[in-house]
């Protein structure tokens, strides 16, 4: 894309028009340059525009534009609907974004993707489940889609990177205003590892609340299916799941404890017809994807009697080392040492405050 064309796109996207309104403009005038230079009378022929929109276009046509450094360097780029790299699954949307900012790299294989979403405050169980599903889906060759939010989204992105898989984060803010700020290092890691961080919003767009439900439609449409790991009844993840169903995509939900309010959204989805997912195999079977069998079964570590007792006492909810020691009748310092051994063998995980959980 030439510098002139990019500048015109930046001006057009700065208007913050809806995807449908932008598409109407482009269908009428062909490209951003012509749309921005069109007369007021010609703009009025576009039925979706109000007088305030026409005035905004006239102002934007002469507004100064600075090309962001990431775009200038080529580390990020703007892809439009006619670009070969544009994600074709989005074409099923009634309002596909006419352009996307992409930091990193998109690949052909990214059309084989699964969305992994859930609450921003998952339980230890939710984190474990998100890790397990993500790792197994990556092993099957699927790209992991999520929204870059704290909680389940973050777990999915990080686990995909650790598993050597591909992941794509679709943000609810501009790439020049990364949100949440706590995940800026994660977004850089995704982009630099060969994955992609994506936004349909103008470069410096703030993370306004309305943007996230709109963003969710991209995750829902792009993935072959959407997996909800853990979600309360009022959760943005349920919006993504509902949209996925409307777009004809598969919807999967992981069951949890009936006493955990963070599982109520998943249980409601299952009642409404979502597929109950107990393993990645359930998802692969529903999507008719065959995974290569492992060459050999993993070798399980040999545990001492004390370690066996502690492992059996561990749960998916955090338990403090003092409580575990009392439960199995050990001095606290001995229990601490044995739990550290279980942690080194990947069977337990240390949590904040001296607690431990079992690893699935």
pLDDT tens-digit series, residues 161-199: 999 999 999 999 999 999 999 999 999 999 999 999 999
- Are both 1-67 and 104-286 of the same fold? no
Q: Tell which CATH architecture fits domain 1-67.
A: Orthogonal Bundle (1.10)
Supply the pLDDT for residue 300: 53
Q: Tell which CATH architecture fits domain 305-358.
A: Orthogonal Bundle (1.10)
Q: How far apart are CA 348 and CA 332, in angstroms?
A: 17
Does residue 113 carry a pLDDT above 80?
Answer: yes
Supply the pLDDT for residue 298: 47
Q: How far apart are CA 202 and CA 178, in angstroms?
A: 12
What is the CB neighbour count within 10 angstroms for residue 272? 13
Q: What are the sequence ranges of the domains in the chain?
A: 1-67, 104-286, 305-358
Structure tokens at 120: 């921003």
Residue range 269-298: mean pLDDT, rounded: 80
Q: Pick from 85, 127, 88: which is nearest to 223 by CA?
A: 88
How confident is the model over 236-259, as pLDDT tens digits? 899 999 999 999 999 999 999 888
Stated pTM of the model: 0.82
Supply the pLDDT for residue 296: 46
Percent of the chain scoring above 90 in pLDDT: 79
Residue 44 phi, psi dihedral angles, 5° rounding: -65, -20
Supply the pLDDT for residue 104: 97
User: What is the overall mean pLDDT for the chain?
Assistant: 92
Supply the pLDDT for residue 203: 96
pLDDT band at 5 (very low <50, low <70, confident <90, very high): very high
CATH code, 104-286: 3.40.50.450
């Amino acid at each position: 894309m030439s510098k002139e064309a990019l500048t015109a796109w930046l001006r057009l996207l700065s208007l913050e028009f809806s995807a449908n309104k932008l598409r109407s403009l482009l269908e009428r005038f062909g490209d951003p340059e012509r749309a921005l230079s069109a007369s007021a009378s010609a703009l009025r022929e576009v039925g979706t525009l109000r007088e305030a929109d026409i005035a905004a276009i006239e102002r934007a046509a002469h507004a100064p534009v600075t090309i962001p450094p990431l775009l200038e360097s080529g580390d990020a780029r703007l892809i439009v609907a006619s670009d070969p790299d544009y994600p074709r699954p989005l074409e099923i949307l009634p309002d596909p974004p006419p352009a996307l900012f992409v930091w990193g790299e998109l690949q052909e294989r990214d059309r084989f993707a699964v969305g992994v979403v859930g609450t921003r405050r998952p339980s230890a169980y939710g984190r474990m489940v998100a890790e397990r599903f993500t790792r197994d889906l990556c092993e099957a060759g699927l790209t992991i889609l999520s929204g870059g939010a704290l909680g389940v989204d973050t777990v999915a992105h990080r686990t995909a990177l650790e598993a050597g898989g591909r992941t794509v984060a679709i943000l609810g803010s501009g790439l020049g205003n990364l949100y949440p700020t706590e995940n800026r290092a994660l977004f850089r890691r995704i982009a630099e590892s060969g994955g992609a961080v994506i936004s349909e919003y103008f470069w410096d767009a703030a993370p306004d609340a309305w943007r996230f439900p709109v963003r969710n439609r991209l995750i829902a449409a792009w993935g072959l299916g959407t997996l909800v790991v853990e979600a309360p009844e009022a959760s943005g993840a349920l919006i993504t799941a509902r949209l996925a169903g409307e777009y004809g995509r598969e919807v999967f939900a992981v069951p949890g404890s009936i006493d955990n309010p963070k599982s109520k959204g998943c249980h409601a989805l299952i009642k409404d017809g979502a597929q109950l997912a107990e393993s990645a195999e359930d998802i692969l079977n529903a999507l008719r994807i065959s995974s290569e069998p492992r060459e050999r079964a993993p070798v399980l570590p040999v545990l001492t009697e004390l370690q066996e007792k502690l492992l059996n006492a561990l749960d998916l909810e955090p338990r403090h080392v003092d409580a575990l020691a009392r439960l199995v009748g050990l001095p606290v310092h001995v229990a601490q040492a044995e739990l550290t051994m279980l942690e080194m063998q990947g069977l337990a995980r240390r949590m904040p405050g001296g607690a431990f959980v079992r690893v699935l």
